[in-house]
């Protein structure tokens, strides 16, 4: 996962926006992350994978 404002231009989101996303996603229950391609979909430990990914950008 990449926290990008613009994937084609590879412009990362600002730190404050990553923090806002992290706080909002903590209150949402989910068990899958779906991507553009099937092989990128995540169905196991999705919340911890997302939290770890966001932590890399902080």
- In the chain (58 residues long), the average pLDDT of successive 10-residue segments reads 66 87 89 88 92 83
Long-range contacts of 1-10 (CB under 8 A, 24+ apart): 1/33, 1/49, 1/50, 1/53, 3/53, 3/54, 3/57
Domain range holding 29? 4-56
pLDDT recorded at residue 42: 94
Number of domains in the chain: 1
pLDDT recorded at residue 26: 87
pLDDT recorded at residue 16: 92
């Amino acid at each position: 996962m990449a926290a990008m404002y613009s994937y084609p231009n590879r412009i990362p989101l600002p730190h404050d926006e990553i923090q806002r996303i992290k706080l909002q996603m903590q209150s949402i229950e989910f068990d899958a992350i779906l991507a553009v391609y099937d092989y990128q979909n995540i169905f196991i430990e999705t919340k911890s994978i997302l939290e770890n990914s966001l932590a890399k950008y902080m």
